[in-house]
Chains A and B, each alone.
Chain A
Amino acid sequence: MKQYGFIPALVLALALIGLPGTAGAIEVGDKAPDFDLPSTKGGNLKLSSLAGKKYAILQFYVLDFTPT
């Protein structure tokens, strides 16, 4: 009987992470592609606005609410 909590129902998504992605044109040493996208902290987040100020750790993830 499942209570309120996480259910790893999208195990399929995890399995598919192993599929070959698009050929990585971006490598260490390249300029990070800029973006200006909606952020949960309000408004947009523009990567280049961090220049000179902070290191940025970008974590790409598959789906909200899944363990990956």
Chain B
Amino acid sequence: MIEARRFPLISRGRLLPAAVFSVCSVLLIAPAAGADYKQVPKLEEVKDHPAAPDFTLPRPDGKKISLKDYRGKVVFLNFWATWCESCRDEMPAMDRLYREFKGKGLEIVAVNVKDKRDDALAFVKKLKITYPIMMDPEGEVGLLYGAFGMPVTYLIDRKGVVLARMWGPADWHSPGARNLIKTLVEQK
């Protein structure tokens, strides 16, 4: 019933002419209802757009953060672990996405699930990851969000509403992904 899927990583984004075209076409798309989730293969819109359940977890430095602290930003909520190979594969592209859109209102919150803090920190340091990490060693928040297998990623709007969910990894710095995030941060 459940298979372990392997998503080949699309070779990293060169700025294709298509990217220019898609940027232009964004201006013509209506906001709010207009986000096209198909731009990221296998990304599923979550029907009913439920409110993202709040949670509070510590950062690696111990400071406790809640999901609702990020209200007002578009939140890319990602569940990962160092023992999950496809999680590790997608992290560099996620970091590029973060650096590109951070100033425009994107926040990436990467919840490390059922892992050792030191392993997670070593890994983040090795890949030079700049987005925030939260620690969920018991996996309770992971379970709430269905991250029993990983990675799992949710796109949450500025009002804290869940828009879409991705089971498994993706190339988050592909032209499609970047265009989708651009649409989301530009929504009021």
Are A and B direct contacts in the complex by CB distance below 8 Å?
A: yes
Binding site for B on A (CB under 8 A): 1-7, 9, 42, 63-66
Contact A66 B148 (CB under 8 A): yes
- Per DSSP, chain B at the interface is loop
Q: Does residue B85 face the partner (Cβ distance < 8 Å to A)?
A: yes
Q: Does residue B101 face the partner (Cβ distance < 8 Å to A)?
A: no
Q: Does residue B114 face the partner (Cβ distance < 8 Å to A)?
A: yes
Contact B143 A64 (CB under 8 A): yes
10 further contact pairs, Cβ within 8 A, besides A2-B84, A5-B5? A1-B85, A2-B83, A4-B86, A4-B150, A5-B2, A5-B149, A6-B2, A9-B114, A64-B146, A66-B148
Contact of B149 among A1, A7, A63, A64 (CB under 8 A): A7
Pairs A–B under 8 Å by Cβ, sample size 16:
A1-B85, A2-B85, A3-B85, A4-B4, A4-B5, A4-B84, A4-B167, A5-B4, A5-B149, A6-B149, A7-B148, A7-B149, A9-B148, A64-B146, A65-B143, A65-B146
Q: Does residue B92 face the partner (Cβ distance < 8 Å to A)?
A: no
Assuming the contacts A9-B139, A42-B48, asked whether A3 and B146 have C-beta atoms less than 8 A apart, the reply is no
User: Complex Cα distance A9/B167, Å?
Assistant: 18
User: Within 8 Å CB of A1, what residues of B?
Assistant: 83, 85
User: Complex Cα distance A7/B2, Å?
Assistant: 11
* Closest Cβ neighbor of A2 among chain B residues: B83
Within 8 A of A (CB), among B26-54: 48
Number of B interface residues in the complex (CB < 8 A):
22
Chain B 107-141 interface 0/1 with A at a Cβ cutoff of 8 Å (1 = within) = 00000001000000000000000000000000100
Contact of A3 among B86, B148, B167 (CB under 8 A): B86
* Closest Cβ neighbor of A63 among chain B residues: B143
User: Within 8 Å CB of B175, what residues of A?
Assistant: none
Taking the nearest CB of chain A, how far is it from the CB of B33, in angstroms? 20
User: Within 8 Å CB of B85, what residues of A?
Assistant: 1-3
Q: Does residue B168 face the partner (Cβ distance < 8 Å to A)?
A: yes
Contact of B84 among A3, A9, A63, A65 (CB under 8 A): A3
* Closest Cβ neighbor of B2 among chain A residues: A6
User: Within 8 Å CB of B146, what residues of A?
Assistant: 64-65
Interface-centre pick from A3, A9, A63 (highest chain B CB count, 10 A): A3
User: Within 8 Å CB of B148, what residues of A?
Assistant: 6-7, 9, 64-66
